[in-house]
Amino acid sequence: MVPRSIYFVLLASVAAASPAAAQQGGGAGKLLLTNGISTVEGSSGGGLAPWAVISGNETRDGFGAQAAVTVVTLPDYDLKAFSVAVGLRDRLELSYARQSFDTNKVGGALGLGDNFSFDQDVWGAKVKLAGDAVFGPTWMPAIALGVQYKKSLDPLVARAVGAHERSGADLYVTATKLILNYSLLVNTTIRATKANQLGLLGFGGPNGTQRRVVPEASIGYQFSRRLVVGAEYRRKPNNLAFAREDDAWDIFAAYGIGGHLTATMAFADLGSIATVDGQRGLLVQLQGSF
């Protein structure tokens, strides 16, 4: 269940952001799309990897915010993420995401019951340390440091699959640059994590109890001010004994609508999840920002 308050914040921010902006075709603030989209964990970035950009449309002279609904439809599961994030002076980002994972028929097969779904909260903080993703010297990317504290709301699931803990914190450092000369957005993220399937299946397990350092990467080509098409890759640990965990990747297209709305569609491959292979499908996100 997603708390009503999240819907409210989301709708309010989208409603507040849209009409005035559409008239002026953008309004003052960040350049179109440079707040990124919202990851399934709530931080601004791509869909999978956080970037060294700060959520919302404001620059270092103000406060901004964004909210997003993300739905990933897989052959055997569905993942929904509702997230909000505020950006303070284009320096600090605080985010919250509620993830809801629906096991559909697999739940029944595992004895959890059909359409068994379990949730996770992700609290994030990110600080931009140096650089800029667009301006300044080409060789100097924006660099940010972040943390995502994740807590399962269904501790039984983590225990049942053999995870060591029901909560954990990911630490990451990320560098992002839009290389204007080639219209290319490049991002690299290094994450230290012990999360199983983003933390939905708990943290740590028989094959590993410590944080593992895993790379993530995003690349995007800017076709126009409004359209970016690219791909992402995210390596994941493989801590559990009962099921293999694969790396995730996607190809995406993000489109900026009127400066305060971004629609994203991606084909995402999340590999094998809880013994069921071939979990690839469509990711759709609608994000509002101001």
22 near another protein (CB under 8 A):
no
Residue whose CB is less far from another protein, 131 or 281 = 131
Select from 49, 118, 47 the least CA-distant residue to 78.
Answer: 118
Contacting range for another protein; rule: CB under 8 A; set: 26-34, 187-195, 237-245, 271-279? 26-34
Using only the alpha carbons of the chain, give its radius of gyration. Answer: 18
Q: Are the CB atoms for 189 and 174 separated by under 8 Å?
A: yes
CB of 59 to another protein, least distance (A): 4
Residue 78 C-beta-side C-alpha neighbours within 13 Å: 12
DSSP 222: E
Among residues 2, 9, 59, 192, the one that binds another protein under rule CB under 8 A: 59
Instruction: Choose which of 76, 90, 154, 245 interacts with another protein (CB under 8 A).
Output: 90
62, 155, 208, 271: which one contacts another protein (CB under 8 A)? Answer: 62
User: Please, which residue, 11 or 28, has the CB nearer to another protein?
Assistant: 28
Q: Is 229 in the site for another protein (CB under 8 A)?
A: no
Is position 245 an interface residue for another protein (rule: CB under 8 A)?
A: no
111 touches another protein by CB under 8 A: no
Q: Interface residues for another protein in 124-143 (CB under 8 A)? A: 132, 134-138
**Binding status of residue 5 toward another protein by CB under 8 A:** no
Examine residue 30 and tell whether it contacts another protein (CB under 8 A): yes
Q: Which residue has the tokens 């379990």?
A: 118
> Which of 116, 37, 79 has its CA nearest to residue 279?
79
Measured CA to CA, the distance from residue 111 to residue 55 in angstroms comes to: 40
- The per-residue b/e assignment along 184-209, b for 16 or more CB within 10 angstroms, e otherwise, is ebbbbbebbbbbbbbbbbbbbbeebe
How many other C-beta atoms can be found within 10 angstroms of the C-beta atom of residue 214?
18
- Other CB atoms within a 10 A radius of the CB of residue 154 amount to 18
Contact flag: residue 115 with another protein (CB under 8 A): no
Question: Taking CB under 8 A as the rule, does residue 26 contact another protein?
Answer: yes
Residue 183 touching another protein (CB under 8 A): yes
Which residues touch 60 (CB under 8 Å, ≥6 apart)? 89, 90, 91
Q: Which is nearer to another protein, 135 or 242 (CB)?
A: 135
- 31 touching another protein, by CB under 8 A: yes
Chain positions contacting another protein, by CB under 8 A: 24-32, 58-62, 90, 132, 134-138, 179-183, 222-225
